[in-house]
Structure 1
Amino acid sequence: MTVIAFVVGVVLLVVGLAASIALHEVGHLVPAKTFGVRVGQYMIGFGPTLWSRRRGETEYGFKAIPLGGYISMAGMYPPSRAEGRAGGGFFATMVQDARTANDETLDGDDGERVFYRLPVYQRVIVMLGGPLMNLVLAIVLFTVLLSGIGLQTATTTVASLSECVPATVGAECTAQDPAAPSQAAGLEPGDVIVSVDGTPVSTFAEASAIIQASPGEQLTLVVERDGAQQTLTATPATISSTDADGQTTQIGFLGIAPTAEYVRQPITAGPQAAFENVAAVAEVIWQLPIKVWDTAVDLVTGQERDPNGPLSVVGAGVLAGEVASADAPVLNRVAGILGLLASLNIALFVFNLIPLLPLDGGHVVVALWDGLKRAWAKLFRRPPPKPVDATKLVPLTFVVVIGLIVMGAVLILADIFNPVSLF
C-alpha cells in the first residue's frame, strides 16, 4: 500500500506540473492571439510529437519529453534579409540556422501578424503572461491550502502528558527521571487550557511561552473539562534547552503535548504566502550556480544536502511520493501535495523571469531594449532604428542552455543518489 501511495504521489506531481506548464503556455497564447500574432503551435513537452490536432491556424499537441512546453509565434525576430547572412564558424552557423527557422514562421512574407512588429508593451505582456499564470496558480493553490484546508496549528487542547521530566529538551525518559509536573497538577488529555497564571491564551505557543519563562515558579492553570472550567496549580520543572547558535538556557517544563488542528486562515494568507515564497525562491535562484556546486560537492562527499537548496523534477517527485505515502491522515497528505505544487509554480514564475534567453525574461529584455532604441531615436529626431535582431544572441543563448542542462543533470543525479528527504 505504501508503494502504491508513493507512486500515486509521483503521478499527482507529474500531472500537476504538466497542468502548470500547460497554463504557463496559455499565458503566452491568449495575449499573443489577442494582439493578432499568428501562432503555429502550442505544445506541451519537447521531442517527438505523441499527439496533435489542428484547430484553425494553430496545432495543439503533446510531445514525448514532458519537461516544458512552448508556443511557436510567427516572426519572433525580424527576417534575416534585414541583416544579411552570417559568416562561417560554429556560432555563425547557429545564428543563421536560427534566422532560417524564424523565416519559416513568416510564411514567405513579412506580414503584419508577427511578434517582432508588436508595440513594446504588447511584447512584454505576451512574454510575461506565462510566468504570471504560474504566479496566479500558486496564489490559488496557497489560498486553497491555507484558507480552504487551513494551517495545522498546535491548539490549547491537551493531547497527551509526558511521563517524566527529561534532562534536556527532546531526551528520552529513563527510570531515574522524575514524573512530569503535568501529572501532579491533575491535567488530563482533552483539557482545554483557558489561561496560564492569569493570562488568557488562545494558542499553545502562548501557553508554552509563559510556562518556559517560569521554571520553578508555581502557576495557576484554568482549564475547561467536560464543559466546565477548573483551576489547577502546577510548578514547571527546570530543564536545559540548546538553541540553534549552541547557547544553552534553563526553561520551564510542564510536560504537555498539544492537539494539532487545521485552522483556516484569512483569504489574504494565500497571496501573502505566495509572495513570501517568491522572495525565498529568488534568493535561491540568485545563487543557483553556487548552490548547484554545493549540491555536487555533497553528492561526491556523501554529506547531507541543504533541505532548502534547489531540486530537480526527480527530487520534487520523490518528495511528492514521500508525502503521499506518509503515515498521516489523508488531509495532511493532500495539503502536502498542494503546498509542493504551489511552491513549484513559484519556482517556475521566478526562474522564467531570469533576464537571459531563451527564458521569458530574456525576451522581455530584448523588447525593452528595442523600445529604448526607438525612444532614443525619436527623442533626437533620428530615423527609426532597425528592429533588434535577437538571433545575434544565439551564442549566449547556447551557453545558457548548456549551463542549464549541466545544472539540471547535477541536480537529477543528486536527487537520485543523495536525495533530500522530508522524514
Structure 2
Amino acid sequence: MLVVLGILIFFLGLLFSIAWHELGHLATAKMFGVKVTQYMVGFGRTIFSRKRGETEYGVKAVPFGGYIRMIGMFPPKKEEEYGRTASSAPWRAMVEDARQAVAEEVRPEDSHRQFYQRSPWKRIIVMAAGPFMNLILAVGIFATVLMTYGVAQPTTTVSSVSQCVVAADEQVRECPEDAPRSPAAEAGFRPGDRIVRFDGERVGSWQELRRSIRDSSGTVSVLVERDDRTVTLKPELIQNTQPRLGDREGYVEVGFLGVTPNEHLVRQTPGEVAARIGSMIGMTAQKVVELPSKVPDLVAAIGGQERSADSPVGVVGASRLGGEVLSYDKFSVGARLIAMVQLLAAVNLSLFLINMLPILPLDGGHIAGALWESLRRKVARLTRRPDPGPFDTAKLMPLAYGVTLVFIAYSLLVLVADIVNPVTLT
C-alpha cells in the first residue's frame, strides 16, 4: 500500500510540476497582452475543462506534458512571397499548413494580440517563464530542505565494522569464505567508538581520517572514546582496492581499516546551499547531454540485461521510485518524505534544462528564434538597412516535427524500459 500511495503522491507532484511550468507561460503571456485560448495539463482527449474569461482550463487524458495555446505564434507570409510559384515539396506543405492553422485562430478583434507581434524580449520572457518556474520550484525545495532539515554528513563515530577484506570493485554482499578479517575487526573496533586520534594526530573530521587511513600502512595507534573512557587500538592496515575520491572514476590501491562512519544532519548556510545547487545544475546538465548515449543501455535493459543505475527514467519510472522511497522502512517517515520532495526537485531541474535546449518545439527553440530576430534587427539598424521583420519560426516546423518524433520515440523507449526493467533504489 505504501508503494501505491508513494506512486500516486509522486505522480500528482509531477502533474503539479507540469501545471506550474505552464502557469509561467500563461501569466507572462497575459501580462504582455497575448491572447491565450487554452491552458491544458496533458495531451489527447480532454477529461475535464472549464472556461474562465477567454481561456479554457483543463486536464487531458495523457499526463506526459502540457501546453498553453497562444494566438499568432507564426507571422503571416511576407507580401513578396505570395507571388512566388507554390512548391509541392512536403516540407513546404508542412510550413503552410502550420501557418494556416495558426491564422485560423485569430479573430479580427484579436489581431493586435498575437504572440509574434510582441517585441523579442517579451517573447523571450514568455517562453523562458515556463522552464524558470521549474527552476524556482527545484531551488525552493532544495534550499528549504538543506537549510531546515540538513545534509547527512559523516562523523568520526563508527557505525559498523567490516568483518572481512574485499576489493570494492568486486561488489559482493557477503564475506567470501577465504576472505581475511579486516584490520578493524582484528583490532577490536566496535560500533559507537568515536575515533579521537589516528597515529598520534588528532582527528578533526571523517574526511581527514579517511585521507590518513588511505595514506597509511602497517601497524598504527588509534585512540577511541568508548563508553565514557578512552581505549587505544593498534590495527595493522593493509592495502586494498577502493574507489577514487572526488568525482574521479576508477579504483586505486590504498590503506584500508574497515570501518563505516556514522552520519548526522547538518543544516547548510546560504552560501553552502548556493554551491550545492550549482553543483546539482552542472551535474544534471551533463546527464542531459549524455541522454543520446543512453539508448544502447535502454535497448539492452528491455532485452533483459541489467539496467544501469544512471539510466534515464520517465514519468512512470520516476513515480515508481517515489513509491519505493515512501515504502523504504529503513528510514523514518520524515526522511522518506524529504527524499520524495528532493526527487521531485531533481525532476524539475531536469525539466528546466531540457526545455531550455535551443531546438524547436522546446521553449529554448522559441527563445533562440527571438534572440536571432533581435540580432538581425540590430544589425539592420547599424547598417541602415530595412527592418527584416519578425523571424518566421513557421519555416522551422519540419525540423520541429522531426525533433518531436525523436522525443516521442525516446520517451516510448524509456517507458517500455521503466515497465519491463525499472530502475530501483536497491
TM-score by length of 2: 0.86
Residue 280 of structure 2 is matched in structure 1 by 277
Cα distance in structure 1, aligned partners of 2:393 and 2:253 = 61
Measured after TM superposition, the shift of residue 126 of structure 1 is 0.9
- In structure 2, what residue type is equivalent to 1:317? S
- In structure 1, what residue type is equivalent to 2:205? T
Cα distance in structure 2, aligned partners of 1:153 and 1:348 = 29
Answer whether contact 2:186 2:235 (CA < 8 A) is retained.
no
Partner SS state of residue 397, structure 2: helix
Partner SS state of residue 268, structure 1: helix
Q: How does 1:18-417 map to 2 (within 5 A)?
A: 18-79=15-76, 84=82, 87-88=87-88, 90-108=90-108, 111-162=111-162, 164-166=163-165, 172=175, 181=184, 184=187, 188-223=190-225, 225-226=227-228, 230-238=230-238, 240-243=240-243, 249=253, 251-253=255-257, 255-300=258-303, 302-329=304-331, 330-417=333-420
Measured after TM superposition, the shift of residue 318 of structure 1 is 2.2
Partner SS state of residue 41, structure 2: strand
* Unpaired runs of at least 5, structure 1: none
Answer whether contact 1:236 1:252 (CA < 8 A) is retained.
no
User: Could you say if the C-alpha distance between residues 72 and 8 of structure 1 is closer, same or farther in structure 2, counting changes exceeding 3 Å?
Assistant: same
Answer whether contact 1:161 1:183 (CA < 8 A) is retained.
no
- In structure 2, what residue type is equivalent to 1:46? F
Q: Deviations over 1:195-233 (max 9, x none)?
A: 33343334334333323433332314142644xx52523
How much is the aligned-residue C-alpha RMSD, in angstroms? Answer: 2.9
Q: Deviations over 1:233-267 (max 9, x none)?
A: 323342533547876635242x5443222222223
Answer whether contact 1:222 1:232 (CA < 8 A) is retained.
yes
Structure 1 stretch displaced more, 93-102 or 409-418? 93-102
Measured after TM superposition, the shift of residue 280 of structure 1 is 2.5
Partner SS state of residue 218, structure 2: coil
Answer whether contact 1:215 1:235 (CA < 8 A) is retained.
no
Cα distance in structure 2, aligned partners of 1:375 and 1:121 = 13
Answer whether contact 2:164 2:175 (CA < 8 A) is retained.
no
Measured after TM superposition, the shift of residue 395 of structure 1 is 1.2
Cα distance in structure 2, aligned partners of 1:167 and 1:294 = 28
- In structure 2, what residue type is equivalent to 1:47? G
Measured after TM superposition, the shift of residue 6 of structure 1 is 1.3
Measured after TM superposition, the shift of residue 35 of structure 1 is 1.5
Partner SS state of residue 51, structure 1: strand
Cα distance in structure 2, aligned partners of 1:282 and 1:246 = 22
Q: Deviations over 1:361-404 (max 9, x none)?
A: 11111112222222222222222223222222221111111111
User: Could you say if the C-alpha distance between residues 175 and 242 of structure 1 is closer, same or farther in structure 2, counting changes exceeding 3 Å?
Assistant: closer
Answer whether contact 1:154 1:259 (CA < 8 A) is retained.
yes
* Unpaired runs of at least 5, structure 2: none
Partner SS state of residue 303, structure 1: coil
Measured after TM superposition, the shift of residue 121 of structure 1 is 1.0
Answer whether contact 1:13 1:341 (CA < 8 A) is retained.
yes
Cα distance in structure 2, aligned partners of 1:52 and 1:149 = 39
Structure 1 stretch displaced more, 84-93 or 120-129? 84-93
Measured after TM superposition, the shift of residue 341 of structure 1 is 1.0
- In structure 1, what residue type is equivalent to 2:75? P
Cα distance in structure 1, aligned partners of 2:181 and 2:111 = 86
- In structure 2, what residue type is equivalent to 1:304? E
TM-score by length of 1: 0.87
Answer whether contact 2:123 2:367 (CA < 8 A) is retained.
yes
Measured after TM superposition, the shift of residue 413 of structure 1 is 1.4
Cα distance in structure 1, aligned partners of 2:307 and 2:178 = 37
Answer whether contact 2:196 2:203 (CA < 8 A) is retained.
yes
Cα distance in structure 1, aligned partners of 2:278 and 2:286 = 13
Answer whether contact 1:193 1:224 (CA < 8 A) is retained.
no
Partner SS state of residue 270, structure 2: coil
Answer whether contact 2:183 2:235 (CA < 8 A) is retained.
no
Measured after TM superposition, the shift of residue 408 of structure 1 is 1.0
Answer whether contact 1:168 1:239 (CA < 8 A) is retained.
no
Cα distance in structure 2, aligned partners of 1:159 and 1:294 = 36
